[in-house]
Chain A
Amino acid sequence: MKKNYKALLIDNLALLFLIIVFYVITKTVSSNLKSYLAIVFLLLILIPNIIFFGIKKDNNYYLGYTVRSIITILLISGISIYILGIFLGFTKGVFGLNSFLTVAIPEFILIIIWEYFRYIVIGDGYSKFSLRFIFTILLIIFSVLIQVNYTTLVDSYSIFVFVCTIVFPTIALEFLCTFLVHNIGFRPSLLYKSIVTLYVYLIPIVPNLGNYLFGVVGVVIPFITFYTINKSLIRDNKYKKTMDTKSSTYITIPIIIFLLIITILVSGIFHYKMISVASNSMEPTFFRGDAVILEYTKPKNIEVGDILVFKHKNIIVVHRVVNIKNHNNKYYFNTKGDANDNEDKFDIEEKDVIGKVDYVVKYIGYPTIFINEMFRKG
């Protein structure tokens, strides 16, 4: 029996109610227990759905292709990320028999119920976009509530990191799963979610991406998966290649290249990093609001006249080198801002040196400075 509009609406309302109850109950509960509770709550809606609408068969024409695409994309992504680990280093994951039994297995059960619940509700290919959208939003809220640890959200930085590393990837993942369930079926969505959620329990070391790259990877990989499968769905419907198709490629590719450059420069995973200039001490070389691209350099390669980027009392400073001293085979630098009358009244040790400036990009640093000052005032 097909679902009608009313049934989908009821499902959404029931889910909303359960989310509110879940939030109230789990404010001080550990995330392990939350997973068990979420299983119970989802079963409360899933079982009536199965009773009224029966069990659906998952047998889409594109199933095989989609499964192969997902495995390929995740394999290539995984290998690329592990290659990044060579530059960034590795860290111990949650690999272990104990965590596998106590965390991974309940999570896997939750994923199965979660995705089958999604399939039962919207997996007929006919449901209205607005209700599918609302349903996905509710699932996102539910997923975030399961993952959140309120005690860690103590300041603006921890909330920002939570948004970038949990909320954004969850949004990307849930929308991708809705797309897969609605267009293909239950199994591709189950496969994708299982791999990206549970791989950490099967691998002893993981690349130390840091919060920024972790967040970017969390949104980009679901997008790549969506793009690949969506493109094949478009092509397979015998959509003729027109100028419109080419123009969207002309827009897409530059955007992707721009985002890639921004990600590489902000993360600093390779030889270069971009930082914003927050003061006018280096006028007229560059001004507040400009961004500089620094090159990681060994202290012995720095010369008088280079613009040095270094840490001083927990602040990053960009000033010109005016003197270099060598004492016991260690370098010490004296610096001065181009606009300052006097030299900086401290020696810079090797350990505080970050790199030297190679390029200046005008004005691009203003958003960063604005947000930085807003956080400091807050």
Chain B
Amino acid sequence: MIPEDFTTSLYTCENVEKFPNMGVLKKSVFEFIKTIGKNLIKKGFIINEESKRITFYINPIGIVSIDYKLNYIPQDKVILLSFYPRGSGKGLDPKNWRRDYNFNVALRVLEFCDSLGDTINVSVEEYGEVNFNRVYLNEYLNIRKWRVSLFGEQEVALDYVLNNRKLIYNLLLNHSKERIYTFVLFSHIFHETNIDRETRKNAQEAIEILKQELQKFGDVDGVYDSINFKYVLETYSKKNDTIVIFIETEDVIGSMYKNFKKYLDVNRIPSQFISIETILEKFRKWPGVRLNFLLELFNKINESKPLFLKPIPYLYEIDGVLCLSDIKDASIKSLQKLFGALFMYTEPGIYEEVHIYEDIPYNIQQGQIVFENEDGIRRLVEYVYQLGGEDTVTMDIFLTRPWKKKHLNQFITQLMKVGYKVNRVYYLSTVRSRFVDETLLNNLLRNSSAEYRIPSKVRYELDDYWHYYYIVSNKVAFIRTSTQLRIYPNLFNLFVYLLWPESGSLSKADLEKILWFTKKRLYRFQEFFVTKYPEPIWIFKNLRKLYLGEVDERIRIPLRLMI
């Protein structure tokens, strides 16, 4: 049965001959909202003329803002208008919103758009009318039967893997016997004398639970004091079968990660950071969390992954994906402008690296990467050639920020000259255009008493394996990569912009490819339906959590350590 259309908070205006001034258009949209102000006020939305903001109150968050973004896609003559919730500064910060909070907030944004109607006619001064139409979602990709390779031996459907947690755990247990793993545990809190009895007891209990689990898979050494980790690790040979695990309280683990991770990764030491709270609260209660932890560990050890999502047919036209990104680390003010590159192959078992370059001069102008000179582009091509690791490679490119058109073309031309073939270039973003939609809420409604007007006949048809998408135009599309709601970022879809080839147009195949790179993170077993970012993008996002410090030569990190 084909599901009904699902509402969104996205509007589009097509066939725009001339783009109106962005500031003026934004004001005009607000003016339109004001015209139906009475209706909105009745429904509890507040329109503040002074600050030009729309807000609403919701318990227990407090005041939430409904913001809107306008995006113009010149090649396709399309304007996107998207409404989305954000923190107002007078309520709970979105990063602390729980699942039900997010759910209720999204419902309110959709109610707001219901009040606006399916068509918005905005009058723009000295321009005329701009007509926006609301977007409905009705097309999806079903990934339920995507194939998964288990330890390279068996091949089963994705839903079978996700429904057979015990089988995966037992396979992991059996395969761990083929090698001798050493888990080296570190914890500062365990050695800290000046802490309360409760914290000490929790730390001891958590470490004991973890030890008991890890002893099934290999030898366990420690617990050593985290502060001495460099000194202790010198006594271990740097072979891949040693894994370092840090166990600290939730508030310490973040800063420890920032400070230690670079050293560990650059020295190619697989490491995992886990909080005492996670072990105590989730390890026993949620066996999926325990499996998640173990799968992440074993993914970091070597190139052969316990679970590998088999490439879908569309991926056969490429050898892998090159992801390029400007880099911002965890420092408040970055010391240098760093540039990152990684190459991810579609086939398993190949060694992959993330490189961070300090000698590619660039600037960010109006949200675009602009290289300072052609030497920078040439050097980047040379580096990519080394990173690709072969004489001929066919690739897609993922960019975390758009590049100046001229520079992108130069880069591609030079890559082609060295024998590399570029298939497609995508700019992927989770913030460029944000909107909420009914499909995500529908899943939650199954177990919820919340009242909403999703037709009951489709309510149970929806499935976590269905990824709704919307192709706006030749160049722009959206895809819902996370199909379960957990945290604030889950609310939004992934924005896909085809930057190259100029004559190309987006199709379902492009979105399926991008979705594959998102869902290949099968090691996030417990969070599989929540994973949102394609793996290459996720790795650069992860880099932002580290202190990179002063970089005076290229940093090379095995990609598997950065997951």
Real binding pair: no
A interface, CB within 8 angstroms of B: none
B interface, CB within 8 angstroms of A: none
